[in-house]
Amino acid sequence: MALTAVKGFNDILPEESGRWQHIEQTARRVFELNGFGEIRVPVLEKTELFSRSIGDGTDIVEKEMYTFTDKGENNVTLRPEGTAGVMRAFIEHKLYALDPVSKLYYMGPMFRYERPQKGRYRQFHQIGAEITGVNDPLADAQLLNMLTAFFREIGLDEPTLQINSLGCPECRPAYRSTLRSFLEARIDQLCDDCKRRFVSNPLRTLDCKAQGCIEATAGAPSVLDHLCSGCDSHFSSVRRYLDLSGTPYSINARMVRGLDYYTRTTFEMVTGLLGSQSAVAAGGRYDGLISQLGGPSIPGIGFAMGLERIALLLGAKEFSSQPDLFIATMGAGERDVAFCLMDGLLKSGVRVEMDYEGKSLKSQMRRADKLNARYSVVIGENEVASGRAAFKRMADGLQIDAALTVDAIAPLVRKTV
Ligand code: HAM
């Protein structure tokens, strides 16, 4: 039987990887402009890291982790998200001692055993950013502005930003019991998952997509009416800074995140174009996480975006780089000249392709078209003798005569914009 990839694990083929690189490069540029530095952490961590951060009762930890015992009897897990590992590294290497305010970004594969569908995979890729050490709502606003800038730069006006506040350990327990009292009379309408959540985490009923749960929670008390004064003024300031910077957003008081570490500000970048996989990026504050993992009491806030979902939104837009020049040869005698020219041009940073197999001129020109080369040139005996050739701009057929030297060709064919 032919070997195929594991279900939910995808190959990113060359025709797609141009789009992926465009996303990654745009993120690096926008994040580095905002003062973020890259951190690279392992894909495998001790299982306990995730149960202690994401939370034992969450879907991720309960049902979705790739957990196994390795040959040394260690209980390990393929990371289902990036924040826990980045904060583990932040604590382990005492990055806070250098500067309690750190801005870190990361990108790479994450693993969740979910039911695969469009926009949801078992190996998927996130690009994430985390700020530690700032309580001030300025940090929330800068992060959200950066996220908005990323989507603007990538050329998407969808998705849109939704924000909420989930309060803190001071005010959330009271809201939780208010919500529980409201749900008590409607518990029969809830789906089986939410009947369990009613006990463990009733807030999750608010973003359940089951029809019964949507009806049961209609008119439920809003978390925003139950914030303590500290959380309330923090959230007002976040909104004020977003208003000051002209960043569009809407408030979604029913947004509840599927990870336990969040406090105060939470947010999602939401699209209507990917069915139920509507979150393209998501995140929030986690002011208690670092101390919960054994580090100092330092607040944090961050987000992660799903690369596959962004790539889907970008659609069929062309991002693969095209050759600057295709060199065709009339016969075997010109192949040495063509090869040396290609070698020289490549060394000076011009992207060149040529025929490797001694094909007919017609099939060489077909290949130049297929590769979408910007210029082509045909080298025959006359061109070799005169040391000059006509370079054809493929888009409009314009012919430009130039010497067969790197110095003459490079400025002619190299893309300048
Ligand atoms: P999350 O909401 O679990 O948050 O995931 C963030 C994003 O990853 C989602 O909005 C989605 O775009 C993408 N994603 C999640 N699961 C899948 C999947 N199975 N297939 C494809 N894409 C997926 C976190 O992971 C938090 N660590 C975000 C964060 C960073 N919060 C604070 N800092």
Tell the residue nearest (CA) to atom 11 of ligand 1: 306
Beta carbon of 114 within 6 Å of any ligand 1 atom: yes
Beta carbon of 269 within 6 Å of any ligand 1 atom: no
Beta carbon of 302 within 6 Å of any ligand 1 atom: yes
Question: For the purposes of burial, counting CB atoms within 10 Å of the CB of 7, is it exposed (0-12), middle (13-18) or buried (19 or more)?
Answer: exposed
Tell the residue nearest (CA) to atom 30 of ligand 1: 303
Mutate-to-test residue for ligand 1 from 81, 131, 163, highest number of ligand atoms within 8 A of CB: 81
Torsion angle of the four alpha carbons 277, 283, 288, 292, in this order, in degrees rounded to the nearest 10: 50
Q: pTM for this one? A: 0.90
pLDDT of residue 415: 76
Place of tokens 């939910």: 8
Total residues found in the chain within this entry: 417
Q: pLDDT per position in the chain (417 positions), as tens?
A: 899 999 999 999 988 998 999 999 999 999 999 999 999 999 999 999 999 999 988 999 999 999 999 999 999 999 999 999 999 999 999 999 989 899 999 999 999 999 999 999 999 999 999 999 999 999 999 999 999 999 999 999 889 999 999 999 999 999 999 999 999 999 999 999 899 888 888 999 998 889 999 999 999 999 999 999 999 999 999 999 999 999 999 999 999 998 999 999 999 999 999 888 899 999 999 999 999 999 999 999 999 999 999 999 998 676 777 899 999 999 888 999 999 999 999 999 999 999 888 899 999 999 999 999 999 999 999 999 999 999 999 999 999 999 999 999 999 998 765
| Extents of the domains making up the chain | 14-171+227-314, 325-414
Beta carbon of 159 within 6 Å of any ligand 1 atom: no
Phi, psi of 129 (to 5 degrees): -140, 140
Q: State how beta strands 44-46 and 75-78 pair.
A: antiparallel
Helix (H, G, I), strand (E, B) or coil at 250: strand
Helix (H, G, I), strand (E, B) or coil at 373: coil
Beta carbon of 353 within 6 Å of any ligand 1 atom: no
Beta carbon of 120 within 6 Å of any ligand 1 atom: yes
pLDDT of residue 333: 86
Sign of the dihedral through C-alpha 36, 41, 43, 46? negative
- Listed residue (31, 239, 279) closest to 153, CA to CA: 31
Asked if residue 176 lies in contact with residue 206, where contact means CB atoms within 8 angstroms, the answer is no
Q: Which CATH architecture has domain 325-414?
A: 3-Layer(aba) Sandwich (3.40)
The DSSP symbol for 117 reads B
Helix (H, G, I), strand (E, B) or coil at 12: coil
Mutate-to-test residue for ligand 1 from 10, 31, 110, highest number of ligand atoms within 8 A of CB: 110
Q: Which CATH architecture has domain 14-171+227-314?
A: 2-Layer Sandwich (3.30)
